[in-house]
């Protein structure tokens, strides 16, 4: 009974998402911006291929930017949270306000299947959008630059898609949590936007203020004090999922990146430039991936607890 009811609820929520106008608008928005960034990157890459060689050219489609258009990963970092927030900001309170939640729970199903089905359906929608856009972008990139991806590039792109899904799922879980905490959909939407702005923009501003207050730096400061200032600012910035996502994707899509920490001049002495193997890049971003998964689990666990304890009346 539990598995069958969960499957029925999952299919119902997935169908609602795929048939909604909201899904179509989000898909068009991300597709247009993503294809625009790929076109700008491919135009510059075709001119530089003959001079720089063909090593990891396909990955540059996702990291390179045009003259006035940001890169593909920049668009995903900016618009990805909006997709997750838009899918889940009214998933619970919307049904409560329409009175459909009480009728749903009156059926012979377990209450936890409702919240589980909604979250799994949201993750499925995000996965469909990410994989579809990634395949479309890769196909257009092959046509434009005429260079197919290697096996390592395919592995790196698949890992990038997985990290992107986890990143967008964080905002989905957070929006479902706000949908439980606030009765009105408009209030939960404003709370989602406020959380997105704070974690994506204001955390970086606060990181600089806090690090300068604890470890002030000027022209006479020692190297140790400067390192403490920079490390503290980096640690505070990593509270934001956007920072974790940006560092992880850069390491995956740019094999030349060997560290995500502060680099001093003495560390560069004797270093031989080169590309890291795929599994070494994965080990480098493993803490970031664990952090993204943990944030997903925390937000969903809070939503699960609040939903199971909430009193729902007809």
pLDDT at 190 over 60: yes
The answer to whether residues 51 and 83 touch, using CB atoms and an 8 Å cutoff, is no
Cβ–Cβ contacts within 10 Å for residue 161, how many? 17
pLDDT at 238 over 80: yes
For the segment 231-239, the average pLDDT, to the nearest whole number, is: 87
CA-nearest of 196, 144, 158 to 37 is 144
pLDDT tens digit string along 168-183? Answer: 999 999 999 999 888 8
Residue 278's contacts (CB-CB under 8 Å, 6 or more residues apart) are: 152, 155, 156, 159, 255
Query: Taken in order 177, 21, 61, 128, is the CA torsion positive or negative?
Result: positive
Q: What angle do CA 19, 133, 50 make, to 5 degrees?
A: 165
For the segment 219-241, the average pLDDT, to the nearest whole number, is: 83
Q: What angle do CA 22, 27, 33 make, to 5 degrees?
A: 130
The answer to whether residues 61 and 42 touch, using CB atoms and an 8 Å cutoff, is yes
CA distance linking residue 311 with residue 101, whole number of Å: 11
Cβ–Cβ contacts within 10 Å for residue 297, how many? 12
pLDDT tens digit string along 262-311? Answer: 665 555 555 566 678 888 888 889 999 999 999 999 999 999 998 888 77
* Least confident segment among 25-29, 159-163, 310-314: 310-314
pLDDT at 49 over 70: no
% of the chain exceeding 90 in pLDDT: 20
Distances in Å between the Cα of 186 and the Cα atoms of 23, 89, 92 are 18, 9, 13
C-alpha 54: how far from its chain's center?
29
DSSP secondary structure string for all residues of the chain: -HHHHHHHHHHHHHHHHHHSHHHHHHHHHHHHHHHHHHHHHHHHHHHHHHHH-STTHHHHHHH---SSS--HHHHHHHHHHHHHHHHHTTTTHHHHHHTHHHHHHTSSS-HHHHHHHHHHHHHHHHHHHHHHHHHHHHHHHHHHH-----HHHHHHHHHHHHHHHHHHHHHHHHHHHHHHH-SSHHHHHHHHHHHHHIIIIIHHHHHHHHHHHHS---TT--HHHHHHHHHHHHHHHTTSHHHHHHHHHHHHH-TT---SS---HHHHTTPPP-PPPHHHHHHHHHHHHHHHHHHHHHHHHHHHHHHHH-----
* Least confident segment among 37-46, 90-99, 165-174, 181-190: 37-46
- pLDDT the model gives residue 309: 84
204 is written with which tokens? Answer: 């970086």
* Least confident segment among 12-26, 38-52, 115-129, 278-292: 38-52
Confidence of residue 51 (pLDDT cuts 50, 70, 90): very low
Higher pLDDT, 122 or 216: 122
% of the chain exceeding 70 in pLDDT: 88
* Average pLDDT taken over every residue of the chain: 82
- pLDDT the model gives residue 1: 47
pLDDT at 2 over 90: no
pLDDT tens digit string along 214-225? Answer: 888 877 777 788
pTM greater than 0.85: yes
pLDDT tens digit string along 245-267? Answer: 988 998 888 887 777 776 655 55
Report the length, in residues, of the chain.
Answer: 314
């Amino acid at each position: 009974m539990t598995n069958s009811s969960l499957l029925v609820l999952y299919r119902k929520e997935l169908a609602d998402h795929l048939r909604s106008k909201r899904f179509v608008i989000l898909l068009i928005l991300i597709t247009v911006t993503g294809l625009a960034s790929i076109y700008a990157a491919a135009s510059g890459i075709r001119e530089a291929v003959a001079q720089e060689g063909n090593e990891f050219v396909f990955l540059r489609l996702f990291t390179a930017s045009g003259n006035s258009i940001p890169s593909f990963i920049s668009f995903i970092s900016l618009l990805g949270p909006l997709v997750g927030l838009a899918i889940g900001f009214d998933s619970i309170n919307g049904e409560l306000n329409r009175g459909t939640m009480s009728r749903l729970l009156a059926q012979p199903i377990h209450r936890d299947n409702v919240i589980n089905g909604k979250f799994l359906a949201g993750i499925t929608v995000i996965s469909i959008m990410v994989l579809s856009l990634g395949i479309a972008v890769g196909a257009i990139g092959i046509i434009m630059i005429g260079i197919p991806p290697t096996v390592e590039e395919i592995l790196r792109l698949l890992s990038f898609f997985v990290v992107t899904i986890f990143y967008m799922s964080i905002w989905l879980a957070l929006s479902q949590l706000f949908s439980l905490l606030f009765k009105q959909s408009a209030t939960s939407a404003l709370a989602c936007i406020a959380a997105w702005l704070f974690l994506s923009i204001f955390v970086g501003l606060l990181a600089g203020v806090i690090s300068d207050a604890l470890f002030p730096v000027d022209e006479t400061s020692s190297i140790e004090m400067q390192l403490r200032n920079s490390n503290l600012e980096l640690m505070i910035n990593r509270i934001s999922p956007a920072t974790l996502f940006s560092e992880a994707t850069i390491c995956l899509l740019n094999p030349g990146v060997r560290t995500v920490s502060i680099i001093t001049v003495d560390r560069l002495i004797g270093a031989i430039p080169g590309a890291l193997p795929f599994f070494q890049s994965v080990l480098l971003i493993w803490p970031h991936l664990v952090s993204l998964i943990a944030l997903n689990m925390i937000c969903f666990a809070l939503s699960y607890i609040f939903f199971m304890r909430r009193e729902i009346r007809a």
